[in-house]
């Protein structure tokens, strides 16, 4: 399947989401990968990861970019050669890319009950408004994780703690929007956070 969803956040920011239904062969056939990208794909043991990687290259094409237009810094953060900001994510059979003039981060996660088990590792301030018996708890936890992961990608600074240094302001699922903060050493930064749900997945993207 080609592009699943395209979201124009504002005149400088676009999100594109791909639903991965193609085989490895169908995904790689039209692509021109750099030797290092091909080597990276060949080294992946999981076909899910291979197809996720390749679907991201198709999303780049949707933006008018090629594999050669993308590079990574020493912290693993992706960049585009034309200077625009980019963030990338994939989970199971979905991938997404956000491109913007602003600094951005994006994450997709499947909604699963096991997130309640790992929640103490990334939930801190948010305990104040989360309720154990809330029927939407898994969805809310997944959105919070997506927002915090997006902040982590955006900030790209070793040592940032999801629990201690990132904060998601209370939100309602129907609102599709909240604010989030990074409080790390001398940095106190506020970000806009948008989120959406589809097919049992949550996606969030943040920007300054």
User: 3-state SS of 34-82?
Assistant: CHHHHHHHHCCCCHHHHHHHHHHHHHHHHCCCCHHHEEECCCCCEEECC
Q: Which two tokens stand for residue 85?
A: 């900001």
Band (88; pLDDT cuts 50, 70, 90): very high
- Count H helices, E strands: the chain? 6, 11
The H or E element spanning position 150 is: helix 137-155
pLDDT digits (tens, 9 = 90+) for 155-168: 999 999 999 999 99
Residue 57's closest CA among 84, 77, 86? 86
Return the domain boundaries, the chain.
3-101, 107-207
Whole-structure pTM over 0.85, yes or no?
yes
- Per-residue model confidence as pLDDT tens digits over 105-150: 999 999 999 999 999 999 999 999 999 999 999 999 999 999 999 9
Structural fold of domain 3-101: Ribosomal Protein L22; Chain A (3.90.470)
Per the CB < 8 A criterion, the answer to whether 106 and 150 are in contact is yes
């Amino acid at each position: 399947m080609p592009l699943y969803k395209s979201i124009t956040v504002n005149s400088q920011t676009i999100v594109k989401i791909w639903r991965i239904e193609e085989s490895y062969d169908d995904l790689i056939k039209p692509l021109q990968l750099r030797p290092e990208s091909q080597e990276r794909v060949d080294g992946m043991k999981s076909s899910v990861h291979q197809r996720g990687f390749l679907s991201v290259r198709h999303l780049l094409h949707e933006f008018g970019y090629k594999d050669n237009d993308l590079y990574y810094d020493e912290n693993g953060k992706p960049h585009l050669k034309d200077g625009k900001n980019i963030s990338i994510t994939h989970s199971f059979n979905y991938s997404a890319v956000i491109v913007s003039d602003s600094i951005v981060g994006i994450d997709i996660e499947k909604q699963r009950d096991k997130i309640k088990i790992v929640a103490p590792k990334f939930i801190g301030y948010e305990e104040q408004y989360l309720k154990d018996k809330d029927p939407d708890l898994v969805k809310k936890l997944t959105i919070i994780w997506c927002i915090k992961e997006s902040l982590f990608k955006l900030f790209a600074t070793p040592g940032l703690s999801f629990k201690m240094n990132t904060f998601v302001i209370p939100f309602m699922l129907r609102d599709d929007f909240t604010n989030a903060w990074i409080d790390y050493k001398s940095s106190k930064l506020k970000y806009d956070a948008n989120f959406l749900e589809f097919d049992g997945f949550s996606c969030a993207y943040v920007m300054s």
